[in-house]
Structure 1
Amino acid sequence: MAAELTKAALRRAALARRRALPAEEIARRSAQLCAGFFRHFSVAEWRWLHVFLPLASQNEPDTWAIIRRVWAEQRALQLAAPVVQPDGISLRHYELTPATPLVLNRWGIPEPVAALGAEVLPAQLDAVLVPLLACDQRGHRVGYGGGFYDRFLAQCRPGTQFIGLSILEGEPVAEIADVLPTDVPLHACLTPGGVWNFQALGIR
């Protein structure tokens, strides 16, 4: 397997590409992701959607467009967002509403104030928007390397949809070289240019 397809190399390349994007391009691509999300997925059939809140300093997709549209148009759909726990390796999840107070964690990521919100268990979720830097054609993803989402996704019930959200354009790479047994693959990956449905390819 070519060395350039390791997680570390893919992570470095993706971070460099994201850093090069100007703010107006992030906004344009985030709007495309929002439109694509509601076009390609059966949002109205879900009861609980888990969303990550964007780390703007890393040029992550601006998920607030999706969040505000859910609040405006999908009144039956409830949102949950993650909170990193004091152990530094695990997540808990809390309801996200227009009234939810937010604080910045140690990395500068907005989080619901846990003490003031209702906890949402992974087994309740119908779909999870998953942050990523790259993915391959089998749905395996490259994140920041902390393993937070792999541990979280493993706790979700069968049938929960795992949807990667990437601000970068282009196709998934052929195969990530160093996938681990604990890595949880995605069902789909949404990019500004369209959606890759790994389930439709018979991968899951």
Structure 2
Amino acid sequence: MDLASSKADLRRAALARRLALDAGQVARRSDKLRENLFREFPVAQWRWLHVFLPLQKRNEPDTWAIIRWIWGEEMPLRLAVPVVQADGISLKHYELTPGTQLTQNRWGIDEPVPHPTAAPEVAPAALDAVLVPLLAADRTGQRVGYGGGFYDRFLAQCRPGTQFIGLSVLNEAPVQRIADVLPTDVPLTACITPGRVWRF
């Protein structure tokens, strides 16, 4: 029996479950995501890691736990984060350092203030791994986000072999199948939950 679910249904249900978490739960689960990332992936061997900055009002994983750990361990790894462009549909990517000046965009997400020296642009082809926001994933690595298509367009620009790693604070297994996958959807390499890592 094919238990397929639509993106809209999965998005609505997963967002409701995530919003039901309190701040302490999100923080503890985000720490588990950080532990699983560093235990299961060769982070220290990467040159560039792309990280999304969390939308706290939607209880997204607190990726600052990962960022501050990398800085605290003084890893040679460099970090890039996205900036939504004026067209409202595309992303550019800029280096994040402890001294990067941040500003909030219209959705309340922190973004670097682009600057040639303080926050230089990073090409998608330079990235070794991308941490991807999501609400749900299926057993083939297809994901459900907020529906804007930002990440599918971005991931398609990365070079072959780049690791696409979903992060979810919901401690849930992938669903069997997302019914309405598009040809332009880019599957994940893996998904990290607080309880385990799923590989696709």
Give the TM-score band, short-chain normalised.
over 0.9
Partner of 1:82: 82
1:2 & 1:63 partners in 2: Cα distance?
32
Partner of 2:192: 190
Q: How far does the alpha carbon of each residue in 1:45-98 deviate from its partner, in whole angstroms, 9 at most, with x for none?
A: 100000000000000000001001111214210000000000000000000000
1:2 & 1:35 partners in 2: Cα distance?
32
In structure 1, runs of 5+ residues without a counterpart are 199-204
1:34-183 matches, within 5 Å, as 34-115=34-115, 116-183=118-185
Amino acid at match of 1:134: A
What is the deviation of 1:170? 1.3
SS of corresponding position for 2:147: coil
Question: Any conservation in 2 of the 1:44–1:74 contact (CA below 8 Å)?
Answer: no
* TM-score (normalizing by structure 2): 0.96
Partner of 1:28: 28
Amino acid at match of 1:50: H
Amino acid at match of 1:80: A
Amino acid at match of 2:9: A
What is the deviation of 1:44? 1.1
Amino acid at match of 1:49: L
Residue range with higher mean Cα deviation, 148-157 or 109-118:
109-118
Residue range with higher mean Cα deviation, 18-27 or 66-75:
66-75
2:12 & 2:120 partners in 1: Cα distance?
37
2:196 & 2:41 partners in 1: Cα distance?
12
Partner of 1:13: 13
Amino acid at match of 1:160: T
What is the deviation of 1:2? 5.2
Amino acid at match of 2:55: L
SS of corresponding position for 2:174: coil
1:6 & 1:167 partners in 2: Cα distance?
21
* TM-score (normalizing by structure 1): 0.95
2:19 & 2:121 partners in 1: Cα distance?
34
1:58 & 1:154 partners in 2: Cα distance?
26
Question: Any conservation in 1 of the 2:36–2:194 contact (CA below 8 Å)?
Answer: yes
2:45 & 2:36 partners in 1: Cα distance?
17
What is the deviation of 1:137? 0.2
